Amino acid sequence: MAYNILISDPLSEDGIFPLREADGFKIVVDTDLTPDQLAEKIGEFDALLVRSQTQVTREIIEKATNLKIIGRAGVGVDNIDLPAATERGIIVVNAPDGNTNSAAEHTIAMLMSLARKIPQAFHSLKNKKWDRKTYIGVEVKNKTLGVVGFGRIGQEVAVRAKGQRMNVIAYDPFLTPEKAEKLGVQFGTVEDVIKAADFITIHTPLLKETRHLINKDAFAKMKDGVQIINCARGGIIDEEALYDAILSGKVAGAALDVFEEEPFVEHKLLTLPQVIATPHLGASTVEAQEIVAIDVSYDVVSFLTEGIVKNPVNLSSVPKDVLAKIEPYFNLTEQLGSFLSDLTEGPPEEINITYAGELANFDARPLSRNAVKGLLKSKLGESVNDVNAKFLADRLGITVNELKTPKSKGFTSLITVEVKTATGSRKVSGTLLNGLGGRIVRVDDFIVDVVPAGYLLFIRHKDQPGAIGRVGMLLAEEGINIATMQVGRSEVGGDAIMMLTIDKHVEVKGIEKLKALADIYDATPIDL
Ligand SMILES: NC(=O)C1=CN([C@@H]2O[C@H](COP(=O)(O)OP(=O)(O)OC[C@H]3O[C@@H](n4cnc5c(N)ncnc54)[C@H](O)[C@@H]3O)[C@@H](O)[C@H]2O)C=CC1
Ligand SMILES: O=C(O)CCC(=O)C(=O)O
């Protein structure tokens, strides 16, 4: 296979060797594209690799007819329209760990520069002034650093700040007082943090909930003379409110690496002597750039060649050990979904996926995704994939429920997929037989033992002498060979089923003839 890869932001050349070494990968590096030029070109590419500069908007994604993966060499994916990518089934991956250290070091560099006014003093000296009066700083020792967002970078900053003998108070929705104690910091609400801190550093992603988290009200609650550092994302701090808070003297200084609008060359905040800034350089080290480029390149290669990724952003991932347990069931769950897609009539309204036995102990979301993919694929075609299956189900108004139970009816693990429509519900159960692969072991309430592959024929009939013979005769007349056949019944003379494996698809005419036979209620061809 040949793959076309576009790199549209500067990535470390040393870090993209996995792409350069992969067979059949043609790499185009073009870091000067305008949005219009990118929109015009993107249709040729299977993968797009970016940093924070390229804006991967819905308009770009709509033109990306061949795009399968977007790799973000870094953490923040706010420059990528994730819903648009998900809708189109394009996976987005990032490199979440590679720049943590660099961003934390940059934050500490900003903190120290701010406290000691190093950039301002340097600037003055460059302008030929030997000024030892204006640039009086403050010590950070024994001061309180408030950390808002205590993830990878926030925690690394805290460790380093403690090395400077600062007290650290942190807020994060995932932080508990116990965790905070273990990490050697004080725990607080966001309000506690901003009230207690002499320096505040922000380390959250830019989300709906964090946009302007640090606003006029937040500034009002802070200590007089507080100093602010933002090496996370512009937009988390309301820049107008910060400007006013600096002018009023509430905020003594701010160190900013990120801004609401980037890039720029003129900014109102930079007219203030209390503000120091860098042009989004938190991750700009040789080491970080090499690691993030390597991580994202490996994910792009392994996704395009094997369908596997390590750092998906728009796809829930499970730990490696869990993946090893559930991976053998991937095909089976897709086949169960696909089986039901043929068996049910009318639009599905609800899909219930029950994991029984051993499987109930694991995070089975990738399996559920496969079941939904199988259900939708036969109607919507190949555009349904792991990334958009759940989104498409939501859009179609299909509720997806995942259930778990230890009771597995004698099987080590049993997966039951039930689809409800306006007219009723159908269900099918499957398992893996040691060394023999997947088996369908139940259809509705009938026990069967069928390999879920090839052409199947599911027939509901009345348990009467001659019914099976008539089906066999008719299929013979249609030139269809029966490979295997199983029968089951609820009671003597009651409802019964035939589950046949046949050698070719039964055409509509053949199905009509089958349905017209005496004692036959229904016949459904299932192609897996
Ligand atoms: N300036 C630069 O060059 C760089 C900037 N970044 C940015 O730094 C930020 C943090 O990155 P990481 O630590 O790697 O991410 P992370 O995902 O490890 O940590 C983010 C933390 O923010 C927390 N959070 C979410 N909503 C919150 C809220 N309302 N209040 C408080 N905390 C909240 C999350 O629970 C999480 O623990 C991101 O915005 C990322 O894009 C990352 C690398 C370089
Ligand atoms: O690519 C860059 O230099 C920016 C890094 C960054 O902001 C991030 O990883 O979130």
Q: Judge residue 55's burial from the number of C-beta atoms within 10 Å of its C-beta, 0-12 exposed, 13-18 middle, 19 or more buried.
A: middle
Atom of ligand 1 nearest to the CA of 283: 3
For the ranges 44-48, 130-134, 386-390, the lowest mean pLDDT is seen at 386-390
Nearest ligand by distance to the CA of 293: 2
Query: Which pair of tokens denotes residue 305?
Result: 């060649």
CATH domain 319-446 topology: 60s Ribosomal Protein L30; Chain: A; (3.30.1330)
**pLDDT score, position 426:** 95
DSSP 131: -
Query: Could you tell me the pLDDT band of residue 312, with boundaries at 50, 70 and 90?
Result: confident
pLDDT reported for residue 386: 87
**Residues contacting 173, CB < 8 A, separation 6+:** none
Token pair of 299, please?
């994910």
Is 3-95+287-306 a CATH 3.40.50.720 domain?
yes
DSSP code at position 223: P
With b for 16 or more beta-carbon neighbours within 10 A and e for fewer, the 20-40 pattern comes to eebeebebeeeeebeeeebbe
4 lines ligand 2 (CB under 6 A): no
Would you say the CB of residue 277 lies under 6 angstroms from ligand 1? no
Going by alpha carbons, the residue nearest to atom 9 of ligand 1 is 232
For residue 345, what pLDDT is reported?
Answer: 87
pLDDT over 80 (residue 435): no
Tokens of 506: 């039964």
Supply the pLDDT for residue 318. Answer: 82
Question: Is the pLDDT confidence value at 317 over 80?
Answer: no
Cis amide leading into 525 (omega within 30) = no
pLDDT band at 309 (very low <50, low <70, confident <90, very high): confident
> Which atom, in ligand 1's list, is nearest to the CA of 102?
44
CB 111 within 8 A of CB 199: yes
**Using alpha carbons only, what angle is made at residue 150 by residues 56 and 143, rounded to the nearest 5 degrees?**
125
pLDDT above 90 for 429 = yes
Residue 379 has pLDDT above 90, yes or no: no
Share of the chain above pLDDT 90, in %: 85
Q: Are 186 and 169 contacting, i.e. CB atoms less than 8 angstroms apart? A: yes
State the DSSP code for 232: S
Contact 63/41 with Cβ under 8 angstroms? no
206-209 contacts, C-beta under 8 A, 24 or more apart: 206/76, 206/78, 206/232, 206/233, 206/234, 206/235, 206/236
**96 within ligand 2 shell (Cβ under 6 A):** no
CA of 90 to the centre of ligand 1 (A): 24
454-528 is a CATH 3.30.70.260 domain: yes
Q: Point out the ligand nearest to the CA of residue 9.
A: 2
Ligand 2 binding pocket mutation candidate from 52, 210, 231 (most atoms within 8 A of CB) = 52
User: Ligand 1 pocket, 105 CB below 6 A?
Assistant: no
Q: Is the Cβ atom of 234 under 6 angstroms away from ligand 1?
A: no
Distance from Cα 102 to the centre of ligand 2, integer Å: 10
Q: What is the pLDDT of residues 211-245, one digit of tens each?
A: 999 999 999 999 999 999 999 999 999 999 999 99
In this prediction the ipTM stands at 0.99
pLDDT at 273: 98
Residue nearest to atom 38 of ligand 1 (CA): 205
Q: What integer pLDDT is reported at residue 377 of this predicted model?
A: 87
> What's the whole-number mean pLDDT along residues 499-505?
92
Is the model's pLDDT at 119 over the cut of 90?
yes
Ligand 2 midpoint to CA 73 (Å): 7
Three-state SS string over 321-367 comes to HHHHHHHHHHHHHHHHHHHHHHHCCCCEEEEEEEEEEHHHHCCCHHH
Q: Whose CA is nearest to atom 3 of ligand 2?
A: 283
Mean pLDDT of 67-74: 97
pLDDT at 490: 80
**What six digits make up the tokens of 285?**
């080290």
Burial class (CB in 10 A: 0-12, 13-18, 19+), 250: middle
Report the alpha-carbon distance of residue 466 to residue 138 in Å, rounded.
Answer: 97
What pLDDT score was predicted for residue 147?
98
Domain spans of the chain?
A: 3-95+287-306, 100-277, 319-446, 454-528
Instruction: Check pocket membership of 297 for ligand 1, CB cut-off 6 A.
Output: no
Q: Which atom of ligand 1 is nearest to the CA of 231?
A: 1
**What average pLDDT does the structure give for the chain?**
94
Report pLDDT digits (tens) over 341-375.
Answer: 999 988 899 999 999 999 999 999 999 999 999 99
pLDDT band at 395 (very low <50, low <70, confident <90, very high): confident
Own/partner long-range contacts of 483-490 (Cβ < 8 Å, ≥24 apart): 483/454, 484/450, 486/448, 486/449, 486/450, 488/446, 488/447, 488/448, 489/446, 489/463, 490/445, 490/446
Residue given tokens 């080491």 in the structure block: 287
Q: Is the CB of 143 under 6 A from ligand 1?
A: no
What is the average per-residue pLDDT within 381-391? Answer: 87
CATH entry, 100-277, from 3.90.78.10, 3.40.50.720, 2.70.98.10, 3.80.30.20 = 3.40.50.720
Spatial separation of the C-alpha atoms in residues 44 and 283, rounded to whole Å: 30
3-95+287-306 shares its CATH topology with 100-277? yes
Quick one: which of 384, 385, 383, 417 has its CA closest to 400? Answer: 417
What separation in Å is there between the alpha carbon of 283 and the centre of ligand 2? 6
Query: Would you say the CB of residue 202 lies under 6 angstroms from ligand 1?
Result: no
Q: Which atom of ligand 1 is nearest to the CA of 97?
A: 14
pLDDT score at 320: 81
Please list, in sequence order, all residues whose beta carbon lies within 8 angstroms of the beta carbon of residue 216, skipping any fewer than 6 positions away.
238, 241, 244, 245
365 C-alpha to ligand 2 centroid (Å): 29
Report how far residue 431's alpha carbon sits from residue 416's, in angstroms, rounded to the nearest whole number: 9
The residues annotated as belonging to the active site are 233, 262, 280
Q: Look at residue 208 and tell me whether its pLDDT is greater than 90.
A: no
Ligand 2 neighbour 57 (Cβ under 6 A): no
Which candidate, 188, 221, 229, 242, places its Cα nearest to that of 103? 229
What letter would DSSP give residue 126?
H
- Residue range 115-132: mean pLDDT, rounded: 98
Atom of ligand 1 nearest to the CA of 154: 13
Residue 489 has what pLDDT?
Answer: 84
Q: d(Cα 318, Cα 219) in Å, to the nearest integer? A: 40
**What was the pLDDT predicted at 382?**
79
pLDDT (average), residues 168-192? 93
**pTM of this structure:** 0.81
pLDDT of 452 > 80? The answer is: yes
76 lines ligand 1 (CB under 6 A): yes
CA 398 – ligand 2 centroid, Å: 37
Which amino acid makes up residue 159? Answer: V
* Interval 252-269: pLDDT, tens: 999 999 999 999 999 999
State whether the beta carbon of 151 lies less than 6 angstroms from ligand 2.
Answer: no
Q: Is the dihedral of CA 369, 374, 378, 384 positive or negative?
A: positive
Q: Residue 324 corresponds to which tokens in the numbers above?
A: 């090893």
The per-residue pLDDT for 258 is 98
For residue 283 and ligand 1, the question of a CB distance below 6 A is answered with yes
Which stretch of 49-53, 170-174, 427-431 has the lowest confidence by average pLDDT? 170-174
Distance 76 CA to ligand 2 centre (A): 6
- The residue to mutate among 9, 101, 203, having the most atoms of ligand 1 within 8 angstroms of its beta carbon, is 203
Cα(239) to centroid of ligand 2, in Å?
20
